[in-house]
Structure 1
Amino acid sequence: MSINHPSFGKLDDNRIIIFDTTLRDGEQSPGFSMNLTEKIRMAEALTELGVDVMEAGFAIASPGDFESVKAIAESVGQRDDTPVIASLARAGAQDVLRAADALRNAKRKRIHIVIATSDLHMKYKLRLEPDEVIAATVDSIKLARQHADDVEWSAEDATRSDPDFLARCVEAAIKAGATTINLPDTVGYALPEDMERMYAQIRARVPGIETVILSTHNHNDLGMGVANTLAAIRAGARQVETTINGIGERAGNASLEELVMAIRTRQDAMPYANNIQTTHLLRMSRLLATITGFDVQPNKAIVGRNAFAHEAGIHQDGVLKMAATYEIMTPESVGWTKNSLVLGKHSGRAAFRDKLNTLGYKIGDNQLNDAFRRFKDLADRKKVVFDEDVVALVDDEVMRDHERIRFVSLDLHAGSKGPARAELELEIDGKTRSASSEGNGPVDATFAAIQAIFPHTANLVLFSVGAVTEGTDAQAKTTVRLEENGKMVDGQGADADTIVASARAYVHALNKLLVKRLRTEPTALSA
Structure 2
Amino acid sequence: MASSLLRIPTLSSSTTTGKPSLPAFSSKSAPLSFRFSPSRHRSVSLRGESFRLSCSVSDPSPLPPHSLRRRRRPEYIPNRISDPNYVRVFDTTLRDGEQSPGATLTSKEKLDIARQLAKLGVDIIEAGFPAASKDDFEAVKTIAETVGNSVDENGYVPVICGLSRCNKKDIETAWEAVKYAKRPRIHTFIATSDIHLEYKLKKSKEQVIEIARNMVKFARSLGCEDVEFSPEDAGRSEREFLYEILGEVIKAGATTLNIPDTVGITLPSEFGQLIADLKANTPGIENVIISTHCQNDLGLSTANTLSGAHSGARQVEVTINGIGERAGNASLEEVVMAIKCRGDHLLGGLFTGIDTRHIVMTSKMVEEYTGMHTQPHKAIVGANAFAHESGIHQDGMLKHKGTYEIICPEEIGLERSHDAGIVLGKLSGRHALKGRLTELGYELDDEQLSTIFWRFKTVAEQKKRVTDADIIALVSDEVFQPEAVWKLLDIQITCGTLGLSTATVKLAGADGKEHVACSMGTGPVDSAYKAVNLIVKEPTTLLEYSMNSVTEGIDAIATTRVLIRGNNNYTSTNAITGEEVERTFSGTGAGMDIVVSSVKAYVGALNKMLDFKENSPTKVPSQKSKVLV
TM-score by length of 2: 0.79
> Could you give the per-residue CA deviations for residues 369-392 of structure 1, whole angstroms, max 9, x where no partner exists?
111211111111123323322222
2:379 to 274, 288, 301: 301
Q: 1:378 aligns with which of 446, 450, 459?
A: 459
Question: Equivalent of 1:48, from 119, 123, 130?
Answer: 119
Matched-pair contact (CA < 8 Å) for 1:282–1:335: yes
138, 150, 173: which is aligned to 1:79? 150
User: Could you tell me how far 1:85 is from its partner in structure 2?
Assistant: 1.1
C-alpha distance in structure 2 between counterparts of 1:68 and 1:493, whole Å: 23
1:429 to partner: Cα distance? 1.6
Residue 248 in structure 1 maps to residue 324 in structure 2: yes
Q: Is the 8 A contact 1:242 1:254 kept in 2?
A: yes
Aligned partners of 2:91 and 2:317 also within 8 Å = yes
Selected match of 1:232 from 308, 316, 334: 308
Aligned residues of 2:191 and 2:233 also touching (Cα < 8 A): yes
Structure 2 partner of 1:361: 442
Question: Bigger shift: 150-159 or 320-329?
Answer: 320-329
Counterparts of 2:157 and 2:480, CA distance in 1: 24
* Contact 2:78–2:256 under 8 Å retained in 1: no
Q: 1:437 — aligned with what?
A: 519
* 3-state SS of paired residue (1:433): strand
Does structure 2 retain, via aligned residues, the 8 Å contact 1:19–1:51?
Answer: yes
Distance 2:194 2:320 in 1: 31
Are the aligned partners of 2:469 and 2:551 in contact in 1 as well (CA < 8 Å)?
yes
Question: How far is the alpha carbon of 1:47 from its aligned partner?
Answer: 1.6
Q: Is the 8 A contact 2:291 2:317 kept in 1?
A: yes
- Could you report, residue by residue, the CA deviation over 1:87-110 in whole angstroms, capped at 9, with x for unpaired residues? 112222222222222223221111
Q: Which amino acid aligns with 2:190?
A: I
Answering whether residue 404 of structure 2 is matched by residue 326 of structure 1, we say yes
Match of 1:350? Answer: 431
**Residue 501 of structure 2 corresponds to residue 420 of structure 1:** yes
Instruction: Say if 2:190 and 2:208, in contact at 8 Å, map to a contact too.
Output: yes
TM-fit CA distance, 1:8 = 7.5
Q: Secondary structure at the match of 1:88?
A: strand
Distance 2:460 2:123 in 1: 40
Give the counterpart letter for 1:345 in structure 2.
K
Structure 1 residues 44-86: Cα deviation after superposition (integer angstroms, max 9, x where no partner): 2212221111111222222222222222222222222431111
Q: Aligned partners of 2:277, 2:401: CA distance in 1, in Å?
A: 43
SS in 1 for 2:131: coil
Whether 2:140 is the aligned partner of 1:63: answer no
Counterpart CA distance in 1 for 2:519 and 2:82 is 64
Computed over aligned residues only, the root mean square deviation of the Cα atoms, in angstroms, reads 2.5
Give the Cα separation in 2 of the matches to 1:404 and 1:286. 27
Q: Once structures 1 and 2 are overlaid, which stretch shifts more, 226-235 or 297-306?
A: 297-306
Q: How does 1:12-411 map to 2 (within 5 A)?
A: 12-80=83-151, 81-147=156-222, 148-267=224-343, 268-270=345-347, 271-339=349-417, 341=419, 342-400=423-481, 402-411=483-492
Q: Distance in 1 between matches of 2:485 and 2:335?
A: 38
CA gap 1:312/1:4 in 2 versus in 1, 3 angstroms: closer
How big is the shift at 1:133?
Answer: 0.8
What SS class does the counterpart of residue 306 from structure 1 fall into? coil
The aligned amino acid for 2:533 is: Q
C-alpha change, 1:403 and 1:13, in structure 2 (3 Å) is farther
- Runs of 4+ in structure 1 deviating by more than 6 angstroms, as ranges, are 519-526
Cα deviation per residue 1:121-143 (whole Å; 9 max; x = unaligned)? 11111111111111111111111
- Seen in structure 2, the aligned counterparts of structure 1 residues 338 and 510 have a Cα distance that, compared at 3 Å, is farther
| Aligned residue among 498, 502, 527 for 2:594 | 498
Cα 1:100–1:360, aligned 2, differ >3 Å: closer, same or farther?
A: closer
Instruction: Measure how far apart 1:224 and its partner are.
Output: 0.7
Shift of 1:34: 2.1
Counterparts in 2 of 1:70 and 1:361: CA distance versus 1, 3 Å: closer
The residue that corresponds to 2:7 in the other structure is none
Q: Which amino acid aligns with 2:503?
A: A
- Structure 2 unpaired stretches of 5+: 1-73, 570-581
| Residue 508 (structure 1) aligned to one of 580, 585, 604 | 604
Q: 1:474 to 1:182 in 2, by over 3 A?
A: same
Contact 2:79 2:288 in 1 (8 A): no
- CA change 1:424–1:233 in 2 (3 A) is same
Equivalent residue, structure 2, for 1:453 = 535
CA gap 1:465/1:83 in 2 versus in 1, 3 angstroms: same
8 Å CA contact 1:30, 1:489 repeated in 2 = no
C-alpha change, 1:220 and 1:276, in structure 2 (3 Å) is: same
Tell me how far 1:490 sits from its aligned partner: 2.7
Contact 1:280 1:360 (C-alpha < 8 Å) held by counterparts? no
For the 8 Å contact 1:110–1:151, the answer to whether it is kept is yes
For 2:492 and 2:444, how far apart are their aligned partners in 1? 30
CA–CA separation in structure 2 for the residues paired with 1:199 and 1:304? 31
% identical aligned pairs? 46
- Cα distance in 1 between the residues matched to 2:346 and 2:484: 47
- Indicate the SS of the match to 2:93: coil
What amino acid sits opposite 1:167 in the alignment? Y
1:491-518 alpha-carbon deviations (Å, 9 max, x no partner): 2211111111111111222223334543
- Residues 52 and 478 of structure 1: is their aligned pair in 2 closer, same or farther, counting only changes over 3 Å? same
SS at match of 1:11: coil
Contact residue 128 and residue 140 of structure 2 kept, 8 A: yes
Decide which moves more: 231-240 or 8-17: 8-17
- 1:321 CA displacement: 2.3
| Other-structure match for 1:471 | 553
Q: Could you tell me how far 1:401 is from its partner in structure 2?
A: 5.8
- Output the TM-score relative to the length of structure 1: 0.94
The structural deviation recorded for 1:242 is 0.8
> 1:4 offset after TM fit, Å?
9.4
Tell me, yes or no, if the aligned pair for 1:294 and 1:490 is still in contact at 8 Å: no
Deviations, residues 161-192 of structure 1 (Å, cap 9, x unaligned): 01111111111111111111111001111110
User: 1:398 deviation in Å?
Assistant: 2.2
Greater fraction of residues in helix: 1
Q: Deviations over 1:438-471 (max 9, x none)?
A: 2222212221221122122211222222211111
